Structure 1
């Protein structure tokens, strides 16, 4: 109890909460933008793919085209976050979200006629989706970093996990929006008008995010690295209280001044771990369940409205189990949650593979999809972002997070774009592959991931500094 009081003494909880909630709107838009396609993908296929006589591969690439932007956004996030700051990078992301919402909803703007699909229109639709994807890539990298650099160590896991809650809540919101738009309407109306309204609806949260960002501060760690120590101290004082603020600023300056900032200046291990965290989060197949959920449920025999409603049910389950992660991440630690989640995902996917092999379609499929997604949402969903925000040292955080996030979106694009073709080959093989990746993710966490619960960002830096120094000493000894 005394330790807990010492940790929280001087902390301005309302101020921290306000900043975090505004920042997590970036996560909400991340979820909104990536899941809005789930309600519109069949209509987009009919309007822009089937009408032009194009292949299943083009359909998969079109539905996943935003992920190309996500890869670009993730790759350039380090340059922007380190160059113009975390806050301005998020403002840029908000602008891109807004443009994408309007353009994806009405890709004919200026250059094309509505109702006359052409290859040029297909390219323009994909262009607007890629613009939104760049926003997602920037937000997915910078929001966890922003929160992680603002939050005190004792609550960092919960606050960064709130970003995942916002992502899943954004998906749930858009599932409701899509269902509300489609409910009671004809298939013809949905294919001509409804899908446009789904995309256009994103402009509302995007505009709100952009406006509210003007009321949050830049992160103290970025300010210190930019030589703006007085501003950094002011924000640290607001967050942690005066005495603790000076200690934290001293720790930040010490870590910033003693390393070059080159990507591998702390060794390769931490970079490899960040990349593998990101790749495994996608190779377990989660975005297949999110992007193609209505179609999966339709394949189980549900109608259009029922499949969208079942997607809403799945979204509610996702939110509930993300809350479980938020409540337990700073109590149980990161590794236990990841390992339990990997086991649950493997059980769910192997069961779905077995049902697909024996062509059993029914409520059991829905049950195992829920087991799979719930396991992901209480573990790899939020915890991957928590770890990415905290394992990298201050000096290389912007660059290292950019590499990890670019790897994540590349893996996401590969998995999502190949899903239709893999399902044509074999549903049992497809889901079995995701189950196997879930097992590998368990072994990866067990063997390679360090526990970061309760450690400050500067303490994590000392961990990698020690490991890189030990490795260098070993090489010198071996060379003698």
Structure 2
């Protein structure tokens, strides 16, 4: 979202700075991350895997215990790490072939296809190619870019309810509700463009955008824009976060070396 608005602001710069400035600004987070990683402590789990238990406890105390090594959270986390290290040491010979053995195959298929269908829902089209959709809805110029940016705002804001509801409502209900609503908005968009759209010619809308091959106006145009926003608002709190959480939870009791 921030990148979009920075790029939009830089579009008003005359000359090559319009695209050089956004590219250069991307270095700032990378530089901060580079120097920040130098003072970041090692992962407690990695330290434990190297049998460096005192350092493991020290990092847990620093990050979770507020300086108290006997904090209940630190003790519980330390015991959990020790138990996982024991389990992984017993399963150190586990290979990726475990993922396709009968007892694991179902989990593997669900986890893989969860990610596949998350990408095939149409979310990427509604985010990265939304300018073409909105061009077909009659928007142009700055109005087109600002209207497209609202998709990113909706995506960020609507992810928060999903994170709050995922443990209360459950993963499966969120996926089912999200899929139903996303299908509804996509079918609505397809129906509106099919019923009310006109062919702008081989050059597309405006004569220079062949990707925008259909054009709608009036109420149909507003409906396409609204359905596009509602699609993102349906994806963000459901398939957006859950498609990443579900595969991990599904396989959290398998050896970590094969879960990665």
Question: Match for residue 392 of structure 1?
Answer: 251
CA distance in 2 between partners of 1:279 and 1:290 (Å) = 17
1:401-416 pair list within 5 angstroms: 401=260
Give yes or no for contact 1:233–1:249 (8 Å, CA) kept in 2.
no
Task: Compute the displacement of 1:257 (Å).
Answer: 2.3
Distance 2:252 2:156 in 1: 31
Matches within 5 A, 1:76-225: 172-183=1-12, 189=14, 192-225=16-49
| 2:77 alignment partner in structure 1 | 245
Of 188, 191, 200, which residue of structure 2 is paired with 1:354?
Answer: 191
Structure 1 stretches of 4+ moved >6 Å? none
| Rg larger for | 2
Kindly state the Cα deviation for residue 276 of structure 1 after the two structures are TM-superposed.
Answer: 0.7
Q: CA deviation at 1:217?
A: 2.9
Give SS of 2:98's match: coil
State how many pairs are aligned.
225
Return 384-393 or 373-382, whichever deviates more: 384-393
Does structure 2 retain, via aligned residues, the 8 Å contact 1:355–1:365? Answer: yes
SS in 2 for 1:265: helix
Q: What is the CA–CA distance in structure 2 between the aligned matches of 1:220 and 1:394, rounded to whole Å?
A: 19
* Structure 1 unmatched runs, 5+: 1-171, 402-480
Whole-Å separation in 2 of the counterparts to 1:322 and 1:354: 28
- C-alpha distance 212-398 of structure 1, shift in aligned 2 (>3 A): farther
2:224 maps to which residue?
Answer: 365
Distance 1:344 1:287, change over 3 A: same
**1:323–1:303 Cα change, 3 Å:** same
Aligned CA distance change for structure 1 residues 295 and 387 (closer, same or farther; 3 Å): same
Q: Tell me how large the CA RMSD over aligned residues is.
A: 2.4
d(CA) in 1 for partners of 2:19, 2:130: 16
Deviation at 1:209, TM superposition (A): 2.2
The Cα of 1:373 is off from its aligned counterpart by: 0.8
The answer on whether the counterparts of 2:48 and 2:82 sit within 8 Å (CA) in structure 1 is no
In the TM superposition, residue 304 of structure 1 has moved relative to its aligned partner by 2.2
Larger relative contact order (CA 8 Å, sep ≥ 6): 1
2:56 matches 1:232 = yes
Find 1:282's aligned residue among 110, 119, 125: 119
Any conservation in 1 of the 2:127–2:151 contact (CA below 8 Å)?
no
Cα distance, 1:338 vs structure 2? 1.6
Aligned counterpart in structure 1 of residue 128 of structure 2, from 267, 281, 291:
291
Instruction: Please give the per-residue CA displacement for 1:280-319, whole angstroms capped at 9, x wherever unaligned.
Output: 1101121122211223222322122111101222211112
Higher mean Cα deviation, 313-322 or 253-262? 253-262
- Following the alignment from structure 1 to structure 2, what is the Cα–Cα distance between the partners of residues 397 and 180? 44
CA distance 1:247–1:377, shift in 2 (3 Å): same
Residues 162 and 236, structure 2, Cα contact 8 Å, conserved in 1: yes
How far apart are 1:355 and its partner, in Å? 1.5
Q: C-alpha distance in 2, partners of 1:335/1:204?
A: 39
- Is it true that 1:340 corresponds to 2:177 in the alignment? yes
Please identify which structure carries the higher helix content.
1
- CA positional deviation for 1:214: 2.8
Normalization by structure 2: what TM-score?
Answer: 0.76
1:351 Cα offset (Å): 0.9
